[in-house]
Amino acid sequence: MAEIVVITGLSGAGRSAAAGVLEDLEFYVVDNLPTSLVPTIVELAAKPGAGIDRLVLVSGRNHSELLPHIESLKSSRHRVTVLYLDASTQKLVQRYEATRRRHPFDLDGEGVLEAIERERVALEPVKGAADLVIDTTDLNVHQLKDRIVSSFSETGSTSMQVSIESFGYKHGIPLDADIVMDVRFLPNPHWDEELRPLTGRDEAVRSFVLGDEMTLRFLSHFEALLRDVIPSYQAEGRNYLTIAIGCTGGRHRSVAIVEHLVERLASDDVKALASHRDVDGGS
């Protein structure tokens, strides 16, 4: 049985960069793979003596037609993870303008914006079949590497990996979230002049947020919900779950809640990782 990672997603969102990270983790990488060749490559890699037990397939041409192959792979004896890379349209336009490359979905010369939206619609069913979605809009190459390494460094692990991310609504909802929780109803440390320069990682802000009666009631219910649904996600074959916690700017309340949840879930032997998208630019 091989461990197979299928990398797909929007053109310009970082498929090749993600493949490079997995190659460093000693996966055998087949990049820019035509969709029709997926079964052939998997069959060759599985042959006795091939010496390939960790395989990465990076979708190339016709990747919008990948869904039947994903379904076939997931019904096989192999351990399959579909990684979908997403990014905002604005960021993708900027990346294409910087490289001056033609977008593969720009068939009629309409322009990169129309091509991106056409590809996004075509890939929506593929995104729905993904096990892990990573939004690369605000990630540099080092941050993307950290996300990939944290998700795939444990060979053969079957435990659920939970990523809990804080964000600010004024910066937009993360594209890769499976569960989104709005905590803007909690008291806001931003209005305290002494707490405003701090973040939810500072003890004074954590005490302000976590010491409120409303916060304690919310956490009691939300923690109970997560303990119920995480095993259910895992029972459905999901190995990755991304939970996004949002406040206004992503600097105080959401950060404090994320740090608390990671600590609480760790006590239940749940592998949870904290990340803070807007902590350095929010309020």
**For residue 158, pLDDT beyond 60:** no
CB atoms within 10 A of CB 269: 7
**For residue 238, pLDDT beyond 80:** no
Task: Record the pTM.
Answer: 0.75
Closest among 142, 137, 178 to 277, alpha carbons compared: 137
Q: What mean pLDDT comes out for the span 253-271?
A: 90
User: What's the angle, vertex CA 88, arms to CA 86 and CA 90, rounded to 5?
Assistant: 145
pLDDT tens-digit readout, 17-39: 999 999 999 999 999 888 889 99
Q: Which residue has the tokens 């996600």?
A: 233
Report the share of the chain in percent with pLDDT over 70.
96
- The reported pLDDT for the residue numbered 47 is 86
271, 241 contact by CB (below 8 A): no
Which of 227-233's residues contact partners 24+ apart within 8 Å by CB, and which partners? 227/268, 229/179, 230/160, 230/162, 230/270, 233/160, 233/178
Strands 28-33 and 54-59: parallel
Measured distance CA(49)–CA(60) in Å, rounded: 27
Torsion of CA 88, 79, 142, 62, to 10 degrees: -40
**For residue 56, pLDDT beyond 60:** yes
pLDDT tens-digit readout, 184-225: 999 999 999 999 999 999 999 999 999 999 999 999 999 999
- The domains found in the chain, sorted by start residue, are 3-152 (3.40.50.300), 161-276 (no CATH)
**DSSP structural state of residue 241:** E
- The reported pLDDT for the residue numbered 156 is 52
29, 56 contact by CB (below 8 A): yes
Measured distance CA(9)–CA(15) in Å, rounded: 7
